[in-house]
């Protein structure tokens, strides 16, 4: 009994220590900030059954239309709700709306409608769509674009385009980009400045069912019109998302047709390319210009997760992005509520919930406190990582083959080598051969994902060699102390190799593969 306890108790005990270190590391990770200076995702009580439409007015009040009513809230930099009211106004789904908290202007049954105090008034009949900014309401009929003057309560015609208007994107200063149909598979874009002066067409974008533009953001920067837009494509049933960039002097917009450049986003910590970027937004906070995008999550347990990332706005077509959201669900493009905070909708597969992130030091500190959900997330991540580590058993099986081949040959051609008292030289040699096998495997395994997920004590120059030496020394000590003398050379060698692999899959194995 004592011999079995030594032989199996010690490896199991050390394995449990390695597993405990994994879970402790995961508990620490769920307290980490997504990036320095930003809080973790903070929840609000508001949740909705249907996807809400959100509008931020000139006073930075947030109006959320869903489930047959409009909820108005005011959030400060500490992500605290200071004001909250509810209106029974029902906004038509799929169309934007405008409000100042008292009057609501929206699309209803083909008309432009104003509602105030429970009373509705038709402002314009037979419209096809509308676009709204903080202080502006645009609408169109077929190919004619108009603006509704909120101060004088009158419609002002802007311009008629060659073909039907397909959509528009309005900035806070009243400038806009108008999307006009060109043919069955393409649209063209026009720029409308803050004085409602319209440029010529400057960009052609895809508009077919299998490839089309979805979302656009723009701003004037150093005398140039800077545009980022999303493109969604379907090829053989597979969806792909890309972001394109266009930049040209404002005075030259409309003089000729331009082309957008495809841009890429790399994770700032590891250089890993972000997949399926979309939801692009240009945002300025405290004088810092940023690009906000949504993209697939990159961490353990992020399967089907769409996270929020921020990248500094720089020249070029490759941007270094860092995460903002820390939820495991689908994050939608954010809205700025102040120079220190932003909010977005989060979809967990059943409900839409309001989330936020802030640069406020108090919020940052509060967001790092453990909660039931964060502890549960850490435990789930640890379990998933342990299951992922089982792949190491299959991919590292070849480590045993050279030693096994040696043992078989010696057993066939020189069986007397196994009959010596004590540990034979054959056992020593097979162990030495085995020790060298994991070195190259470990070097290749320490990839970008490993660097992102592994704890600090596994990340240093030469760590691949250090890990194999460390595990070899521990295993040698266990083998020397726990090996049963009655096992023979064959049993002793396999005891060493099995113990080593057990330590390997629990010590660094969880950080190598991401199956989830």
Please, which residues bridge with residue 265 across strands? 319
Contact between 138 and 147 (Cβ < 8 Å): yes
- Give the contacts of 108 (CB within 8 A, at least 6 positions apart): 92, 120
pTM of the full predicted structure? 0.80
Q: What is the DSSP string of 322-381?
A: EE----SSEEPPPEE-SSSEEEEEEE-SS-EEEEEEE--HHHHHHHTS--HHHHHHHHHH
pLDDT score recorded for residue 417 = 58
Helix residue ranges per DSSP H, 396-462: 400-413, 425-436, 438-445, 448-453
151: how many CB neighbours lie within 10 A of its CB?
6
406: how many CB neighbours lie within 10 A of its CB?
16
pLDDT score recorded for residue 300 = 63
> What are the counts of helices (DSSP H) followed by strands (DSSP E) for the chain?
10, 29
Give pLDDT < 70 ranges for the chain. 1-6, 300-301, 415-423, 515-516
pLDDT score recorded for residue 5 = 67
Distance CA 354, CA 375 (A): 21
pLDDT score recorded for residue 4 = 64
**Longest CA–CA separation in the chain, Å:** 106
- Give the contacts of 471 (CB within 8 A, at least 6 positions apart): 438, 500, 503, 504, 507
pLDDT score recorded for residue 422 = 58
pLDDT score recorded for residue 402 = 87
Residue pLDDT, tens place only, 237-248: 788 899 999 999
Contact between 386 and 22 (Cβ < 8 Å): yes
């Amino acid at each position: 009994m004592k011999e079995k306890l030594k032989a199996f108790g010690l490896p199991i005990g050390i394995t449990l220590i390695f597993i405990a270190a994994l879970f402790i590391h995961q508990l620490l990770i769920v307290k980490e900030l997504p990036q320095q200076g930003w809080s973790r995702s903070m929840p609000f009580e508001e949740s909705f059954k249907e996807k809400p439409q959100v509008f931020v007015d000139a006073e930075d009040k947030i109006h959320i239309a869903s489930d047959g009513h409009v909820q108005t809230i005011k959030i400060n930099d500490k992500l605290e709700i200071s004001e909250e009211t509810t209106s029974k106004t029902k906004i038509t789904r799929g169309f934007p709306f405008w409000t100042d908290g008292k009057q609501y202007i929206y699309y209803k049954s083909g008309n432009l409608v104003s509602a105030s105090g429970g009373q509705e008034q038709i402002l314009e009949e037979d419209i096809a769509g509308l676009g709204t900014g903080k202080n502006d309401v645009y609408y169109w009929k077929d190919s004619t674009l108009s603006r509704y003057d909120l101060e004088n309560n009158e419609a002002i015609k802007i311009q008629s385009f060659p073909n039907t208007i397909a959509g528009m994107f309005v900035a806070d200063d009243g400038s806009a980009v108008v999307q006009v149909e060109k043919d069955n598979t393409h649209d063209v874009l026009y720029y409308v400045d803050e004085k409602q002066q319209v440029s010529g067409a400057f960009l052609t974008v895809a508009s077919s069912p299998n490839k089309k533009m979805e979302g656009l953001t723009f701003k004037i920067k150093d005398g140039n019109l800077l545009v980022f837009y999303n493109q969604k494509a379907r090829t053989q049933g597979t969806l792909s998302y890309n972001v394109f960039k266009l930049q040209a002097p404002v005075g030259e917009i409309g003089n000729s047709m331009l082309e957008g450049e495809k841009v890429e986003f790399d994770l700032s910590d590891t250089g890993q390319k972000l997949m399926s970027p979309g939801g692009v937004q240009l945002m300025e906070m405290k004088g810092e210009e940023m690009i906000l995008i949504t993209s697939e999550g990159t961490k353990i347990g992020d399967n089907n997760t769409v996270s929020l990332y921020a990248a500094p706005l720089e020249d070029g077509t490759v941007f270094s992005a860092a995460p903002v959201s820390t939820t495991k669900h689908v994050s939608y493009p954010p809205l700025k509520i102040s120079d220190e905070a932003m909010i977005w909708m989060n979809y967990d597969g059943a409900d839409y919930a309001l989330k936020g992130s802030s640069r406020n030091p108090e919020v940052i500190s509060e967001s790092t406190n453990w909660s039931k959900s964060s502890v549960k997330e850490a435990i789930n991540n640890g379990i998933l990582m342990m299951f992922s580590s089982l792949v190491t058993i299959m991919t590292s099986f070849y480590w045993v083959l050279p030693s096994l081949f040696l043992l078989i040959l010696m057993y066939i051609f020189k069986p007397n080598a196994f009959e010596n008292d004590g540990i034979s030289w054959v056992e020593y040699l097979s162990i030495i051969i085995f020790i060298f096998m994991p070195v190259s495997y470990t070097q290749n395994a320490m990839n970008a994902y490993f660097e992102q997920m592994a704890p600090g004590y596994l990340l240093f120059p030469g760590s691949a060699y250090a890990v194999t030496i460390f595990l070899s020394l521990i295993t040698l000590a266990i083998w020397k102390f726990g090996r049963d003398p009655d096992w023979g050379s064959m049993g002793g060698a396999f005891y060493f190799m099995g113990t080593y692999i057990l330590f390997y899959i629990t010590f660094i194995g969880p950080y190598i593969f991401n199956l989830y």
